[in-house]
Amino acid sequence: MSLTEIEWTNIGGSHPDFAELVCQRLGEESPSTKLTSSRFSNGETSIVIGNSVRGADLFIIQTAAEPVNDMLMELLITISACKTASARKITAVLPCFPYSRQDKKDRSRAPITAKLVANMLETAGCNHIITMDLHASQIQGFFNIPVDNLYAESAMVEYIRSNMPLDNVVIVSPDAGAAIIADKLRLDLALIHKERKVASKISRMILVGSVLNKTAVIVDDIADTCGTLIMAADVLKSHGAISCRAVVVHGFLSGPAIQKIEESSLERLVVTNTLPLSPTAQKCPKIESIDVSGIIAEAIRRTHHGES
């Protein structure tokens, strides 16, 4: 986690590399505010702020990296500590918002955990949220404070334009959300409909549109265990796609995801750096990361200076 007044510090290990990149884009070599994160023997988190933040405009960077529960608790304690230390304003910068997939009551007795996270952030003392590509945009409405939901779309468009033969590419998406990327690149759009006979378990996928003799580029917001992504790649190949790639915002890549990708028909998986890549993922020749720290840094700069 990092904190700035456009003053920074690293405390914890959610994504220090990303925080450093944001810092550098704002003209700082490294975080300057001194915070220390430690654990008691029973696992409780302790946060110590090493210098004054009284009257400061603070930006605390923490993402939903593993272990996500520890990272969330660390963020809440840091916000609370800064509030009691008389910070003027506290903005939580969450490149990947935790629990964003639990945004609705999709079955009996299911919790809406994203709303709970929103409540906790506000109670801790947060005044403003900056995040990127929420899984469901209605999460913004869970807050009673301003929420800026940024989009990685410009970075994804630039990557596709620079690295793929646009005369032979079709954009593929599980919903119409990728239509704006297809429009910006002036490419055709195909949809993959996921059919479920049992909740949370996909029984089959139906392709709407043509990928015959095309390079199919799947665009989505999350790649977790990658089972759905690989199933989609197989469907596209069976419908005549000559190559299948994926461009995804948040690359959790948990469990057996890396092994699945290595053994799959997916030629390349491109993720943004809203989440850190594990050493195994970094070594995988099929996985590539694109930088979105500039988008976050510009949002911080504009927020700090009161620009729109």
How many angstroms separate the CA atoms of 216 and 171, rounded? 6
Query: Hunting for tokens 């608790």 — which residue is that?
Result: 73
Architecture per CATH, domain 2-151+294-305, reads as 3-Layer(aba) Sandwich (3.40)
Architecture per CATH, domain 153-291, reads as 3-Layer(aba) Sandwich (3.40)
- pLDDT in the model for residue 30: 62
228-244 per-position pLDDT tens digit: 999 999 999 999 999 99
The two structure tokens encoding residue 269: 């998986």
How many angstroms separate the CA atoms of 133 and 100, rounded? 10
108-136 per-position pLDDT tens digit: 899 999 999 999 999 999 999 999 999 99
The widest CA-to-CA distance across the chain, in whole angstroms, is 62
The two structure tokens encoding residue 290: 């694109």
How many angstroms separate the CA atoms of 15 and 251, rounded? 13
Other beta carbons within 10 Å of 197: 8
DSSP β-ladder status, 2-4 and 35-39: unpaired
- pLDDT in the model for residue 181: 96
Contacts of 67 (CB under 8 A, 6+ apart): none
- pLDDT in the model for residue 12: 45
69-111 per-position pLDDT tens digit: 999 999 999 999 999 999 999 999 999 999 999 999 988 899 9
Residue type, 7: E
- pLDDT in the model for residue 218: 97
- pLDDT in the model for residue 37: 84
- pLDDT in the model for residue 272: 98
Query: Hunting for tokens 């297809």 — which residue is that?
Result: 182
C-alpha 186: how far from its chain's center? 26
Contacts of 109 (CB under 8 A, 6+ apart): none
Q: Are 135 and 100 in contact (CB under 8 A)?
A: yes
Which residues make up the CATH 3.40.50.2020 domain(s) of the chain? 2-151+294-305, 153-291
Q: Are 171 and 217 in contact (CB under 8 A)?
A: yes
For residue 118, give the H/E element and its range. helix 113-124
Mean pLDDT by 10 residues, the chain (308 residues): 50 77 84 77 90 91 94 95 95 96 90 97 98 96 98 97 95 88 96 71 85 97 94 96 98 96 97 97 97 97 91
